[in-house]
Structure 1
């Protein structure tokens, strides 16, 4: 029988083939499933309860009606109080004493725009209040929880939308209204009748017309649209807050990574500490020797010396806090030798950082003395002082080798520093420093050192200090401030600073001037 030729690609019967080569590397095991970033409470209802809907709608309407047209006014604090009450009412459990204390701090932050008339402060205080509200809603106890609280409203926004949408669907399906078109028609007819009869009554009586005008928003006013948009945003924020109170999200467990040997963290941090010591050695000569030492060694004036390094030192302070925090997590603290090493290196870094804070503040003091005070210069000095307070808190926690209450202490320091800055009254202090600088230049028979253009842009909080200027200079700096103080903004736009400025300017005549001094 003739042999059948094999087809290409098929093995030939009776032929011995070598075994396939082994792969050079064994196959990699499958990756474990990635754990979720956070867990939610098992008691979270699938749909939002009805009281959450009521809380969200109430805060949206209240915010649209109460928020002032500008960026200052007691309406901001009133709206914040309503939001907190709505979140607590829509919450499944009562707040504890710690949460009530945090809520009091939030209200204090939001009260600043009703106290000071400096609108540039409002944005920062509102953002800080929002961040503190996030910490309140998730009951953050650690620095990691506080960091999560900042992004939690964004992370859970989609889940909140689904939560509220499901509730709306359930409410609609369970409704007894069989003809939604009839409901819509009744609403349209009601609105038309109210408009017609309201217009007739307003034309018949002037007092009723005045009352109706006060209660009815002016649709031509662009602030109405802005208030409605802000009201919607506040309502959405309230919905997220209620969801967080029900969900109680918790970050998944995170094991602390400890360096295998002490040198793994001690070498880099110890090297940074050596750099600190070398830098502080040069600073000691500048701070003790004064301007003559700086002029001889660096060929810089005091102003140039101050301007040349403040921002770098500011960054050094913030970065050192991060380095110390990371090294604290990485360092082993089980033996006496480990604890002594941690205290020696990280404590030394904290002490050196405090000295850097002193050096940075000294440089900014020289800069302000040379060029005057501004909002930016005063603000960064306040932030630098706050960072120094946080470093002290780290040192206190490190002395006891425990960080159980560190997050709360840091949060309290931040809120306390912000409130202290409001008590400091930055715009008034800026005016005081610049007026003192002007008076000193006049006493020395020098050219007047004053920037009337910048001072005229301050808020009414600065009025009392600016009235110390000579009568011929007052119109240069107070004309715009007086217009701001005398604006009618309604009761929601009331601020203590604006009312005080209006009283101070009551008997002041701001005559026109031909020219104002140029900056010097």
Structure 2
């Protein structure tokens, strides 16, 4: 039978596309065990934190603790810090120093949160938005690896350098502490100058719970060790293959639609701004102040959402040809410019509202946040003009730190108090309950009020600044207020029945 050649099937080729999913990698140079200097750095940071952390979020102890932790992480790191890292660490220390500068706890908390995020970015070495986002979950993702690494390091240090005669070491330590305590107490009782020296050197916790300080110190030590591990591991998020759309309409249609909505809104908004109160009452049936309040939060959300839309559109848009780059600049740049106009509108609305109803922490804070979003939009425009966005995430990070420090320099509690005092002089209206809850930063402005109102709003501040909370809670704002109130006498009680708002 003759042989018949059958057609051969084509060979099967693997058409598996490379994964677009990002994945986490760590450095191959990560040692198997933690070096001894990492353990020492963690112990030193824990001890410093237990001694320095104040009982509140305000005090020079916050800044000193932060400096101790940053120094410990750098000492326990495999490499010396680079110049940009030193600049970043200095910026973080400046944020923490606000706790020793301003007496408003809410402002100090804001700076602490920003400093923690910046510290995570610094330790991870994040350069992209994706890596910066990873810093938020890095302690959770890397915790198990760090725990084993630290445990092996501690076990290795113990096996290589066994402590002989542990009982004798403990006895000598306890005897030394006992003798030191007894003789210091005797010398302090014998001489007032030496007693003053001891009181200035020995940490004074005031009303602090020593147990909580120890727990806080242990937590700081753990996170310091984790920071050293991350510096050794050098985690990196690989982006895989960025997904861009070759079909221009897929990103241009939705973003162009948003741009058209912006144009319609801004035309209407321009008529309202120039038409004034009469136009608003005729068209919306609201007073100008109510009109301003009714739309601010929506405009705030629009600004934030626009930044997200522009960022995603920039990643998806194909910029391989000149015509496509021009279209990207036109639509996304137009969105940024329109959003800047909305920022101006939102700030105008809130300014009108505060002129009518007074300034508060919330209103001042959201105005500052709106200004920060406007600065980010400007950064996006500058980056888009040159189509260079590699350094944009770091620029936004530095911009955020600068904005936070500027807000602290603005001294919001003092400005809020001054705005309300000016409003009282014009209208006779004042919310004494609210002003009484401001921090000592507001003392100078509140002293301009009449004597009866002054006693109402400064009573709590006077009680706070005259209490002795220890040197770790030293604060420039509180110290300044104490001097300003040195000639004032208030009944230090919580009875505000005679201090009703007017």
| TM-score, structure 1 normalization | 0.87
Q: Which moved more, 1:479-488 or 1:141-150?
A: 141-150
Structure 2 match to 1:476: 456
Counterpart CA distance in 1 for 2:328 and 2:91 is 34
CA contact (8 A) 2:203 2:470 kept: no
CA contact (8 A) 2:20 2:239 kept: no
CA contact (8 A) 2:188 2:198 kept: no
Q: SS of the residue aligned with 1:41?
A: coil
Q: SS of the residue aligned with 1:472?
A: helix
Q: Which moved more, 1:75-84 or 1:53-62?
A: 75-84
From 460, 463, 466, the counterpart of 1:486:
466
Q: 1:263 to 1:396 in 2, by over 3 A?
A: same
Structure 1 match to 2:51: 65
Query: Do residues 495 (structure 1) and 475 (structure 2) align?
Result: yes
Structure 2 match to 1:187: 170
Query: Do residues 128 (structure 1) and 114 (structure 2) align?
Result: yes
Counterpart CA distance in 2 for 1:450 and 1:505 is 21
From 133, 142, 157, the counterpart of 1:147:
133
Q: Note the 1:383-398 alignment, pairs <5 A.
A: 383-398=369-384
Q: Note the 1:7-22 alignment, pairs <5 A.
A: none
Q: Note the 1:452-463 alignment, pairs <5 A.
A: 452-463=432-443
Query: Do residues 295 (structure 1) and 277 (structure 2) align?
Result: no
CA contact (8 A) 2:45 2:221 kept: yes
Task: Please provide the CA RMSD for this pair.
Answer: 2.7
Offset from partner CA, 1:96-146 (integer Å, 9 cap, x none):
111111111101101101000111112221111111111111222222222
Counterpart CA distance in 2 for 1:35 and 1:42 is 21
Q: 1:480 to 1:220 in 2, by over 3 A?
A: closer
Counterpart CA distance in 1 for 2:63 and 2:72 is 14
From 181, 185, 189, the counterpart of 1:206:
189
Q: 1:302 to 1:240 in 2, by over 3 A?
A: same
CA contact (8 A) 1:460 1:481 kept: yes
Q: Note the 1:87-102 alignment, pairs <5 A.
A: 87-102=73-88
Structure 2 match to 1:519: 501
Offset from partner CA, 1:396-419 (integer Å, 9 cap, x none):
111111102211211111001000
Q: 1:359 to 1:201 in 2, by over 3 A?
A: closer
Pairs aligned (count): 484
Q: SS of the residue aligned with 1:38?
A: strand
**Unpaired segments ≥5 residues, structure 1:** 1-27, 442-447
Q: CA deviation at 1:37?
A: 2.5
CA contact (8 A) 1:451 1:517 kept: no
Q: CA deviation at 1:508?
A: 2.1
Structure 2 match to 1:285: 271
Query: Do residues 333 (structure 1) and 315 (structure 2) align?
Result: no
Q: CA deviation at 1:430?
A: 0.3
Counterpart CA distance in 1 for 2:325 and 2:16 is 40
Q: Which moved more, 1:362-371 or 1:333-342?
A: 362-371
Counterpart CA distance in 2 for 1:299 and 1:454 is 30
Offset from partner CA, 1:404-458 (integer Å, 9 cap, x none):
22112111110010000001000000001000000011xxxxxx21001110110
Q: Which moved more, 1:213-222 or 1:74-83?
A: 213-222
Counterpart CA distance in 2 for 1:406 and 1:276 is 25
Query: Do residues 464 (structure 1) and 444 (structure 2) align?
Result: yes
Structure 2 match to 1:422: 408
Structure 2 match to 1:248: 234
CA contact (8 A) 1:60 1:232 kept: yes
From 226, 251, 275, the counterpart of 2:261:
275
Q: CA deviation at 1:150?
A: 2.8
Q: SS of the residue aligned with 1:403?
A: coil
Counterpart CA distance in 2 for 1:517 and 1:221 is 30
Structure 1 match to 2:37: 51
Q: CA deviation at 1:288?
A: 0.7
Q: Which moved more, 1:223-232 or 1:41-50?
A: 223-232
Q: 1:88 to 1:514 in 2, by over 3 A?
A: closer
Counterpart CA distance in 2 for 1:373 and 1:287 is 21
Counterpart CA distance in 1 for 2:301 and 2:166 is 62
